[in-house]
Amino acid sequence: MKTGVWLDKEEAILVSLYNDEVSMRRIASEVENIHVHGGSGTRLKGGPQDVVQDSKYLEREKHQLKRYFNDIILEINKAEAIVLFGPAGTCEKLYKEITQNHPALSGKIKDIVKTDSMTENQIKAWVKSFFKSN
């Protein structure tokens, strides 16, 4: 089974190819979209309270991303070949998680490709085309 994983911070779309069959599955991330604003009650702009809140939000996001990545890893564990693709740096973060904590799986990753947002049909076509040419 060959699997393509399109992902961003909001969701992952897994496309699995097995013989001539194509299956698709979505995984929601549950990562909160947090925008930290200044002005936390101190008179000084960017006072120490802002820094504390920033690190608290970043820590929470890190834990949410770890849960999201673990959900994806459970789904792609049985794949023979994997390609990660999508916008932003979420693919690189997932790849880093896999190489650090799932070494057996990291050898199955054939490529990490930056792409724009895509429709479901474009994602399916992209994965088919990737594995046909590799």
Domain architecture of the chain: domains with CATH: 2-133 (3.30.420.60)
pLDDT, residue 60, reads 84
Check pLDDT > 90 for residue 82: yes
Considering only CA atoms, which of 71, 127, 80 is closest in space to residue 108?
Answer: 80
Q: ∠ CA 115-83-23 to the nearest 5 degrees?
A: 100
pLDDT, residue 39, reads 47
The tens digit of pLDDT for each residue in 7-17 reads 998 899 999 99
| Cβ density class 32-68: b for 16+ within 10 Å, e for less | eeeeeeeeeeeeeeeeeebeeeeeeeeeeeeebbeeb
For residue 22, the SS3 value is strand
Cα separation, 45 vs 41, whole angstroms:
9
**Residue 42 and residue 49 in contact, taking contact as beta carbons nearer than 8 Å:** yes
The tens digit of pLDDT for each residue in 24-49 reads 999 998 877 665 555 445 555 555 55
